[in-house]
Amino acid sequence: MTKNTPECPFCGKTIIRPEDTQTEFGKVLYDRCSCGAVYVCDPTGHNTGEAYMEALALLKGNWDMDILDPGFDYEAEEMDYDLRSNTRIYAKGMAGHSGRLLFLRLKKEGETGPPPAAGTKEAGDRKPEGRVINIKEKIREALEANRLGDIVDIGLRDKGAFRRLISMAYDKEDAKSWRAMEALGLLAGAASKDRMEVVRDTVRRLLWSMGEESGGIGWSAAEMLGEIIMNSPDGFTDIVPILWSFKDEDMFRSGIVWAMGRIGLARRDLVLFVSGPVMNMLTDTDPQVRGCAAWTLGIIGDKTASADLKALAGDACEINFYTGGVLLKKKVGEIAAESLNKLEK
């Protein structure tokens, strides 16, 4: 294993050890290079997604991830790194034994890439008054009108749509956010035919965002992963148990159970293994978890859940329930009765 003094990948200057610093986003282990690059340290090497989001927030100045385009507005690099000795590590096959440094730098004027081609995100379409409609506006308009097919068309021309949809999918009290999740899955299914690397990168980033101490950035990641796997199940069979492994995290539990149901609609065999644990969740203290569990059991089709579903018949707690582009308020007991009816048939 060879160790070297770490240098900024953008300017080549030696960097100093990052310090744990209090910021408006919380404590972040980071520093800045004189060239303007921000670098954030993940000392374990297991929370790179968190480091990426923190670096992006520091670069931009807030948590709104809906503005900067990777590769167009900024560039990113990373390296294996040992915080204790402040050294870069070069060792094939030993990356898991080191931390990581993630570097982000805004591109300077004139470095933002070639002029946009017609029909791409920056070219956009023009409204009657001549103002350009960018990709963000087009996606928002399509979500408002529930035209998810239009979003798929946009996304097949511009991979930036993946990031835009993720940034619009965090308000679970808003139907448009649920439509963004659904659209993300539909786009992933269409793109997986010839751009699987883009979809895989999206899946990796969503899983990273669910990592320990992610700062809540991954709030809707479970539902989004469920939509992606539902629309491309054969390509992500290995991700199902990884997603399920987050079930003990309170903030993710209802979303993960919901995701299992969505995946089950496409490939029931991939989620049969969760039937027993989901049955136990019918008595969870969170009504959202109980409702999602009841709905998912109806999809899995495990008839041994019948008695437990009957016991929920009088549960009058209301939860958010998304279906057909609409966000409804449904009683847990009502959902349980519908699933019970499926099992009896």
93 & 143 share domain: no
271-326, pLDDT tens digit by residue?
999 999 999 999 999 999 999 999 999 999 999 999 999 999 999 999 999 999 99
Residue after which a domain boundary falls, among 209, 238, 267:
267
21 & 140 share domain: no
CB atoms within 10 A of CB 31: 17
74 & 192 share domain: no
280 & 344 share domain: yes
Within 13 A of 287's CA, how many CA atoms are on the CB side? 16
Residue 139 lies inside a defined structural domain of this protein? yes
Q: Which residues have a Cβ under 8 Å from the Cβ of 342 and sit 6 or more positions away?
A: 298, 299, 301
Q: Name residue, tokens 């539990």.
A: 253
Q: Which residues have a Cβ under 8 Å from the Cβ of 156 and sit 6 or more positions away?
A: 187, 190, 191
Residue after which a domain boundary falls, among 267, 286, 319:
267
Pair of tokens at residue 237: 């069979």
How far lies 111's CA from each of 75, 77, 221, 274, 284, in Å? 10, 16, 32, 49, 53
Q: What total of structural domains would you count in the chain?
A: 3
Note the pTM of the prediction, 2 decimals: 0.66
Ranges of residues in the chain with a pLDDT under 70 are 1-3, 25, 49, 62-72, 91-97, 109-133, 212-218
- C-alpha closest to that of 202 among 245, 169, 173: 169
261 & 340 share domain: no
**DSSP-assigned letters across all residues of 254-319:** HHHHHHHHHHHHH-GGGTGGGHHHHHHGGG-SSHHHHHHHHHHHHHHT-GGGHHHHHHTTT---EE
79 & 161 share domain: no
Alpha-carbon torsion 115, 192, 153, 179, what sign?
Answer: negative
Strand partners, 329: 320
167 & 186 share domain: yes
Pair of tokens at residue 297: 């059991």
Distance CA 312, CA 294 (A): 9
Task: Check if the beta carbon of residue 133 is closer than 8 Å to that of residue 125.
Answer: yes
Residue 155 lies inside a defined structural domain of this protein? yes
Residue 295 lies inside a defined structural domain of this protein? yes
Residue 114 lies inside a defined structural domain of this protein? no
- C-alpha closest to that of 226 among 187, 257, 250: 257
Q: Which residues have a Cβ under 8 Å from the Cβ of 83 and sit 6 or more positions away?
A: 17, 18, 29, 41, 43, 99
246 & 145 share domain: yes
pLDDT score of 27? 85
pLDDT score of 68? 60
Angle, helix 135-144 to helix 175-191, in steps of 10 degrees: 120
> How many residues comprise the chain?
345
86 & 158 share domain: no
Give the burial class of 194: count Cβ atoms within 10 A of its Cβ; 0-12 exposed, 13-18 middle, 19 or more buried: exposed
pLDDT score of 216? 44
Strand intervals (E) in the chain:
2-4, 19-23, 26-32, 38-42, 74-82, 87-90, 99-106, 125-126, 132-133, 318-323, 326-331
CATH number at residue 325: 1.25.10
339 & 315 share domain: yes
Torsion of CA 40, 43, 46, 49, to 10 degrees: -10
Residue 190 lies inside a defined structural domain of this protein? yes
Range of the domain at 327: 271-345
Residue after which a domain boundary falls, among 250, 267, 284:
267
